């Protein structure tokens, strides 16, 4: 089938195949993305991150429902962590949470990390583009906030929401600082538990310490996602942030930044592959390693030499 034409004609099957091509690095993937690129940039992208089990999926589900009520189509990309924190129980959870999965206006996709952490943010970004071209108005990316790659992934979002839960104790420190810094909004989920006030204060203090330089002050909402409580306030905050980004022109700046990061990463990835093929996988290179081991030469000069050679080619 013609995947590009299918995606643009809003075929779900084509969209699914497009993402599979990207995920598995099929040879046709680049061609598909090249053809789809001009049709992207329309969707609003929402990143949701936070510790394992915080209720991100539950919240995503409720938000998606609310967007559907408002006539928007929704794409959901859940990045499956294969991290030691969450083990393998995740996929079942993800599918179970989504009672919106049957809705024609919702497209849900799980992406596995499969140890290919470096390439994952690119693959996620491409999956987002497929859903954008497919016609999703809102695209939600859910990731567990445990590592740098998750930070990289949600960085591509227009609005990023960090979901926290009370009872982590002092563990707010344990959540990667980088994750907290990217929050445009904070949601304290499981507000039915003890420790909400404490967490609220901790987040406020953290925000104060980080010294906000923009005109946006991240709101802190409280939800009981499993009961749909507080979801509308979260929606209001998302809309308010979207409005702020548009009016302050920051949306343009952010998207430019994100395109720049993506392009540079693509170039770096291509160079890395080129080096692997033309340098790392050669006899000559093995020899060089041997000589390095015997301290006949030094790696600093060799690195420069190799780079010179590559540039001259
Ligand atoms: N008590 C309580 N439980 C909740 C609430 N929201 C979600 N849960 C439950 O918490 C569990 C985890 O919810 P998920 O939505 O799967 O959490 P998640 O953050 O997506 O989890 P991972 O993707 O595994 O990191 C589920 O059993 C939910 O039913 C809440 O507000 N209060
Ligand atoms: Mg989840």
- The rounded average pLDDT for each run of 10 residues, N- to C-terminus, in the chain (313 residues) is 95 96 92 98 95 90 95 92 44 54 86 63 93 98 76 85 82 62 92 93 86 86 97 98 96 94 91 90 93 97 94 87
Which residue range(s) make up the domain with 268? 264-312
Domain stop point among 196, 218, 248: 248
The dihedral built from the CA positions of residue 269, 85, 144 and 36, taken in this order, carries a sign that is positive
User: Quick one: pLDDT at residue 157?
Assistant: 94
User: Quick one: pLDDT at residue 174?
Assistant: 57
Distance from chain centroid for Cα 49: 9
User: Quick one: pLDDT at residue 83?
Assistant: 43
Asked if residue 152 and residue 278 are part of one domain, the reply reads no
With CA atoms as reference, report the closest residue to 100 among 129, 63, 56. 63
The reply to whether 7 falls in a domain is no
The reply to whether 280 falls in a domain is yes
User: Quick one: pLDDT at residue 165?
Assistant: 92
Cα Rg of the chain, angstroms? 22
Smallest CA separation from ligand 1 atom 10, residue: 55
User: Quick one: pLDDT at residue 89?
Assistant: 41
Asked if residue 221 and residue 112 are part of one domain, the reply reads yes
For residue 143 and ligand 1, the question of a CB distance below 6 A is answered with no
The reply to whether 26 falls in a domain is no
Smallest CA separation from ligand 1 atom 29, residue: 226
State the Cα–Cα distance between residues 235 and 64, nearest whole angstrom: 10
User: Quick one: pLDDT at residue 205?
Assistant: 87
Cα 206 to middle of ligand 1, angstroms = 24
Most informative mutation of 57, 58, 61 for ligand 1 (most atoms within 8 A of CB) = 58
Cα 63 to middle of ligand 2, angstroms = 14
User: Quick one: pLDDT at residue 172?
Assistant: 61
| H-helix segments, the chain | 3-8, 12-23, 29-36, 56-69, 90-97, 117-134, 148-155, 177-181, 196-210, 231-247, 250-275, 283-293, 299-312
Exposed / middle / buried, residue 67 (Cβ in 10 Å: 0-12, 13-18, 19+): buried
User: Quick one: pLDDT at residue 182?
Assistant: 82
State the Cα–Cα distance between residues 189 and 226, nearest whole angstrom: 9
Cα 56 to middle of ligand 2, angstroms = 5
Q: Structure pTM?
A: 0.90
User: Quick one: pLDDT at residue 88?
Assistant: 40
User: Quick one: pLDDT at residue 1?
Assistant: 74
Phi, psi of 230 (to 5 degrees): 85, 0
User: Quick one: pLDDT at residue 119?
Assistant: 74
Q: Residues with Cβ within 5 Å of ion ligand 2?
A: 56-57
Domain stop point among 193, 224, 248: 248
From the CA of 194, the nearest ligand is 1
State the Cα–Cα distance between residues 110 and 27, nearest whole angstrom: 21
Asked if residue 294 and residue 235 are part of one domain, the reply reads no
> How many domains is the chain partitioned into structurally?
2
The CATH number assigned to the domain holding 136 equals 3.40.50.300
Asked if residue 196 and residue 275 are part of one domain, the reply reads no
Asked if residue 196 and residue 69 are part of one domain, the reply reads yes
State the Cα–Cα distance between residues 60 and 74, nearest whole angstrom: 10
Q: How many CB atoms lie within 10 A of CB 16?
A: 17
Asked if residue 276 and residue 239 are part of one domain, the reply reads no
Most informative mutation of 226, 227, 234 for ligand 1 (most atoms within 8 A of CB) = 226
């Amino acid at each position: 089938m013609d995947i590009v034409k299918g995606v643009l004609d809003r075929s779900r099957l084509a969209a699914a195949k497009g993402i599979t091509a990207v995920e598995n690095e099929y040879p046709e993937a680049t061609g598909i993305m090249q053809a789809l690129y001009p049709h992207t940039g329309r969707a609003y992208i929402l990143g949701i991150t936070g510790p394992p089990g915080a209720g991100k999926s539950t919240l995503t589900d409720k938000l998606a429902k609310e967007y559907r009520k408002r006539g928007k189509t929704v794409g959901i990309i859940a990045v499956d962590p294969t991290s030691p924190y969450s083990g393998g129980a995740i996929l079942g959870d993800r599918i179970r949470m989504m009672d919106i999965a049957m809705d024609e206006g919702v497209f849900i996709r799980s992406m596995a990390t499969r140890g290919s952490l470096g390439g994952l943010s690119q693959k996620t970004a491409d999956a987002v583009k497929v859903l954008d071209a497919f016609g999703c108005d809102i695209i939600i990316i859910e990731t567990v906030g445990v590592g740098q790659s998750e930070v990289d992934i949600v960085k591509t979002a227009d609005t990023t929401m960090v979901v926290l839960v009370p009872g982590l104790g002092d563990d707010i420190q344990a959540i990667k600082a980088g994750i907290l810094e990217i929050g445009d909004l904070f949601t304290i989920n499981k507000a039915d538990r003890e420790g909400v006030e404490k967490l609220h204060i901790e987040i406020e203090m953290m925000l104060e310490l980080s010294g906000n330089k923009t005109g946006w002050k991240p709101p802190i909402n409280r939800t009981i996602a499993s009961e749909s409580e507080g979801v509308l306030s979260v929606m209001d905050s998302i809309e308010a942030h979207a409005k702020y980004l548009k009016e302050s022109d920051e949306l343009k700046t952010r998207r430019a930044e994100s395109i720049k990061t993506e392009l540079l990463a693509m170039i770096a990835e291509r160079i890395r592959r080129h080096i692997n093929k033309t340098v790392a996988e050669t006899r000559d290179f093995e020899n060089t390693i041997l000589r390095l081991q015997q301290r006949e030469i030094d790696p600093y000069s060799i690195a420069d030499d190799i780079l010179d050679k590559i540039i001259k080619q």
